[in-house]
Structures are given as structure tokens and as C-alpha cells.
Amino acid sequence: MINTIKNFKWFFSVSFLCVILGVFTFITFINQGFLFLNEDNLQYLLMLDVTLLLIFLLLLIQETSKLYTQYSKKRSGSKTSINYVLQFSLFAFLPSLVIAIFSLVLFNVGLQKYFDKRITSAVNNSYQVAKNYIEETQKTVETDIYLISQDLNRYSQTFFSSPKRFSNIVRAQKNLRKVDDLYIFDSSGTVLLADVSNPEEEFPIPSEEIFEKALEGNPVSVNLSKENKTAFIIKLGNFIDTYLYISKNIQPQLLQYLDETEQAVNFYYTVENNRTGIKITFAIIYIIIVSLLLFLTIVLAVTFAQRLTKPIINLISASKNISAGKLDSRVPDIDADEEIKSLNQNFNNMIERLKKQQDKLLVAERYSAWESVARKLAHEIKNPLTPIQLSIDSLKEKYSDQLKDKSKNFDNYLSTINRQIKDIEKLVNEFSDFARMPSPILKKINISNVVERAVEFYKMSDKNLNLKVVIDKKQNFNIKGDSDQLYRVFLNLIKNSIEAIEEKKQKDKNLQGKIVVEIDRNNEYIVIKMLDNGPGFNDINNITKPYYTTKTKGTGLGLPIVSKIINEHNGDVNFLKKTSGAVIEIYLPAI
């Protein structure tokens, strides 16, 4: 959705301006906007509306032409996209057009009825009724304060002689006249007696102007419209410097109704004076909205078509690559529905499994070829070694005494040849082992026991070896495997780590060698991770190829044997690079 907004940002900007300008034009027509309503402003607004509408339609044509271009070039999925766009557009445009025509007719009829004489009379009368009610309330409060002041003047002596009785008289007057607040105070604003509905409310001290008017002896209105009250003040004639203040609450709904009625009356006559302009504005706004709905439908159809056809096109493309033998192909991850994502993921998983099976077949074929080569090579090399060794022994026995004084290097030459023959025999034996390696006999075993047995073997050989196993004894590490062959795997790997650390120690005398074997369970696999702080791997792409080695006296068969055994156990082995040292991860299916 966000990408769709970015792709059509200009259109959405023009659409937003069209709608805002249409509303602004309507508000101006009813004389409620920032522009003064006159003929020039009206023409300018309408011209601007039409200009934006034309730009809007041009953008609409431009976007639809892109779909036609794709269709003419016969791009994948373009025909389906065109069908979706046409159907969505048709389903959106026809109802919108019918509703627009119906609304314009209904609006015109309703606008005429809006100015019916009875409605005009009702509008005027409603405002007058509310206004008269407010005025009547003020007159009632004015009469009440006058009558209360007359009664209190008769009891002026009681105010001094019996304050409690006077207070009862005041309360009786307040209840009789249904007054909300009653205060008796002097010209300094000091309250002498109060009987109020809300004791926490502060007494509003009148202004000096009101005090001066009250000296004439007549009720004076106090403006408390903000507090929704009608209040009056009058001077008590039989008292010295004493004033009476009463107030009555006005319902907020009534005041609000009065304001709304006044606004409605003003709005009513404004609309009446601008009927034609309102009709034109209403029509323009409807055209803009219908065009906007049409384009939004096209955008929605294009987006929907892309979300539907793009995954299908990706699947078709990937399936073609797979049929051509390109198992490295993948269906790209795209923003789609959960079902489509699940389909893509399952398809990629299927390709990945096919790739792994193909790789395993290739590895098996490669190992089979190398085994055949190793078998022939061992046979061809081993046959002449025995006569060569016998010949050397004969030469040594026959000529050693004769050449002892004449040639001191004779024995050295023979010893060198012997050592080389021993090295060749060792190499031939490793070739023979690689060629004769049997298929694993799979049984239920605990792989952690195999790993610990290999670790203990090296710990007994070297007490100073820093080699430890990290394992959670509570977990199940059972697999189907050949314990002897897997034991050979871990012996080989630990041996490589030890030799790598020793090689690095020749350059860094202070190096403290460390080897860690971690065993953990990851879903359906047992993961054995080996870490050391040796020099690490230089070429992880070739280290599992037979006869590839970086060691001076290495045969290049150790890691290929490890890889072959793990593959025959339906597992995976990964050789990883890190900043300092090497990491080997072995995955074996758990049971």
C-alpha cells in the first residue's frame, strides 16, 4: 500500500487539491470562507477547479495508457491485468455515475424545497422563540430581585437584632423565588450574608459602574453570560451601604441552542442568496469525487492484478529454470498474501531439497570416482614398493662394508630412500583406507557419548590440552548412526584443530590453544559445533575435495572422509570463517 502511494504520489496530490478546492469553493459560495463572495472570486475559483480537474483527467489517461502499452508488448500477466482493471473500473464507474446523477437531481429538488415559505417561517420563528425565552428569564429575575429587596427592607431591624431569624427570611425568599444564588454585601465587596447553591463558588464582585447605577435604587443587570447565568444587583434602601445580588442559572443547552439557531438562520439566508453557485460547486465536487473513485479503482485493480499475477509469473519463471536444470533458481520474496507467501516458501523449500539431493548425488559420484582412482593408485604404487625395498636392503648388505671408508654418504642415501618409501607407504595406506571405507551400519546411538569418547582420547594423550565439551545432559541426543565412523570423524576434526593451533603457535609463542565442542538440539537436528582459536580456514570451497591440502605433509583425505561419513548419515557439515580461528558445524537428524 505504501509503495502504491509512492508510485501515484502526483495523482494523490492533485486529487487532494481538487477535493480541498471544491470544499473551499462551496464554503465561499455560502459566504463562510476566507474569500469575500463576489463575481470575480467566483470565476477564479471555478477556473481553478476546472484546471485541476483537467490535470486530474490527464493523469488518469496517462496511467491507463501504461497498461495498454504493457498489453501491446505482450508482457507476461498484462492480459490478466487489463481484464482486472476493466472489470474493476466498470463495476466502480457505473454505480458511481448512477449515484452522481441521482444525487444531483435529488440535491436540486431538495434545494428548492429547502427554501419553502413554511421552512423559512419555521427558521425565523425558532430563533425568535429562543431569544424571547432568554429575555423572559431576565425579566423574571429582575422582578424577583425587586420583590426580594422590598421584603428585606421591611426586616432591616431584624438584620441587626436577630441575625439568625433574618437568615431564615433570606432563605425563604430564595426558595420562594427559586433563585440559585443570593448575596448581601457592601460596596467594598464584603459578603454580609450568602445563600448559594455552590458554596465553593466565589462571589463575583460587580464593577464600579454597576455600583453607581445601583445607587439609583433600580435593579441593574450583571453580565454573566460566560457562566450561563442571569444576575441582577439592587441597593437595599433601609440598609446602610448594603446591596442585594441574585442570580439564576440558565441551561447551557438553551444558550447553545440559541447560538446554533442564530448560526442556522445566517447560514440559511446565505445559501438562499447563492443557489446557482452551490449547484455548480456541488456538480464539480461530484465530478471530482467520481473521477477520484474511478482512478482509485484503477489503482486498486492494478495493485490487485500485480499481487495476483506477479507471484504466478515468478513461479512460472522458476519452474522453467528448474526444468532447464538450474536448481539455483529461487522464487523471490515479495509482499503478498499469506497463502502466496506459503506457496513461494514451499516451492523454494522443494527446490532446496532437490538441490541438496543433487549435491549429495554429485558428492557420492565424486567420492566413488575418487575411490576408484585411490584404489588403482594404491595398487599401482604399492606393487613396486616391495621390490624397491628389497633392492635397497640388498645394496646395503652387499656394499655397505665395501664403501664404508670410501663413501661416508652411502648409508645416508639409503636411509633417505627408506624414509621416502615409508612416506609413500603411509600415503598408499591412506588411499587404501579411503577406497575401502565401508557404508555405515546405522543404529540408535547417543552422539554425545561418541563426542565425549573422542575428547577423552585426546585428553589422555595430552594432559595440558585445553579441550572441553559444552552439553546439556537433560536433552536427548539420539541419532541413527555408525558410532565407529562418527568416532573417526571427531578424532579427525580434533586432530586438525590441534595441528592448526600448533602451526599458529610457531608464529605466536604466547598463544593459549583452546578447543570447544558444543552439542545442542535445533528442532529436528542435533548440532555439533567445534570452535578453535587456530589460523582458521583459507579456502572453505575446496577443503572437502579429496587430495586438496594446505599442510606440508598432508594427503588431503581427512576432511573429505569427514564429509563423506556425514553425508552418508544424511547430515550436513559446514566450515565457517571467523575473525580468529575456525568453526565447524555438523547437523545430524535426531530421532
Query: Which domain CATH number covers 469?
Result: 3.30.565.10
Residue 322 forms part of a structural domain = no
432/443 same-domain check: no
Which residues, 6 or more positions from 15, have their beta carbon under 8 angstroms from its beta carbon? 56, 288, 292, 295
Q: And the C-alpha cell for 472?
A: 546439556
Number of Cβ within a 10 Å radius of residue 361: 10
Residue with cell 477556473: 47
458/581 same-domain check: yes
Residue with cell 449547484: 279
Q: Residue type for 480, please? A: K
Residue 409 forms part of a structural domain = yes
Q: Residue type for 573, please? A: V
CA dist 75 → 69, 70, 159, 484, 496 (Å) = 9, 6, 103, 59, 56
Residues 370, 371, 377: CA angle, nearest 5 degrees: 85
Between β-strands 478-481 and 467-471, what pairing exists: parallel, antiparallel or unpaired? unpaired
Residue 70 forms part of a structural domain = yes
342/254 same-domain check: no
CB 171 within 8 A of CB 152: no
385/512 same-domain check: no
| Helix and strand totals (H; E) in the chain | 15, 12
- List average pLDDT for each run of 10 residues in the chain, which is 591 residues long: 56 66 63 54 67 71 68 62 71 72 66 55 66 81 92 89 91 90 92 89 89 90 80 92 90 69 67 62 68 66 68 78 77 74 83 78 70 67 75 76 63 78 73 67 94 91 86 89 93 90 86 92 92 84 66 67 88 84 93 90
Q: How far is 424 from 165, CA to CA, in rounded Å?
A: 134
- Indicate the length of the chain as a whole number: 591
579/453 same-domain check: yes
Q: Which of 197, 229, 262 is the last residue of a domain?
A: 262
Query: Which domain CATH number covers 207?
Result: 3.30.450.20
427/446 same-domain check: no
The range of the structural domain enclosing residue 388 comes to 337-436
Q: What is the DSSP string of 320-342?
A: HHHHTT-TT--PPP-S--HHHHH
231/362 same-domain check: no
pLDDT digit string (tens) for 406-422? 556 777 777 788 877 87
Q: And the C-alpha cell for 280?
A: 455548480
Radius of gyration over every alpha carbon of the chain, rounded to an integer in angstroms? 51
Residue 267 forms part of a structural domain = no
Chain centre distance of CA 558: 48
Residue 145 forms part of a structural domain = yes
CB 181 within 8 A of CB 196: yes
Q: And the C-alpha cell for 108?
A: 436540486
Residue 241 forms part of a structural domain = yes
Residue 70, pLDDT score: 61
Q: How far is 74 from 68, CA to CA, in rounded Å?
A: 10
Q: Which of 436, 471, 490 is the last residue of a domain?
A: 436
Q: How far is 120 from 269, CA to CA, in rounded Å?
A: 9
Residue with cell 563426542: 451
553/477 same-domain check: yes
Domain count, the chain: 4
461/578 same-domain check: yes
Alpha helix (H) ranges present in 115-233?
117-154, 156-161, 163-177, 208-214
pLDDT digit string (tens) for 413-461? 777 888 778 777 776 776 666 656 677 889 999 999 999 999 999 988 7
Residue 444, pLDDT score: 95
What are the beta bridge partners of residue 584? 530, 575
Residue 25, pLDDT score: 64
Residue 153 forms part of a structural domain = yes
Residue 123 forms part of a structural domain = no
CA dist 531 → 221, 331, 447, 452 (Å) = 94, 35, 18, 15
425/561 same-domain check: no
Residue 554, pLDDT score: 57
CB 585 within 8 A of CB 529: yes
DSSP state of 202: P
312/428 same-domain check: no
67/209 same-domain check: no
Q: What is the DSSP string of 248-307?
A: EE--HHHHHHHHHHHHHHHHHHHHHHTHHHHHHHHHHHHHHHHHHHHHHHHHHHHHHHHH
Between β-strands 467-471 and 515-522, what pairing exists: parallel, antiparallel or unpaired? parallel
Q: And the C-alpha cell for 436?
A: 575401502
Q: How far is 296 from 293, CA to CA, in rounded Å?
A: 5
If residue 554 lies in a helix (H) or strand (E), which one and from where to where?
none
Cβ burial, residue 225 (10 Å; 0-12/13-18/19+) = exposed
Question: By three-state DSSP, how is residue 381 classified?
Answer: helix
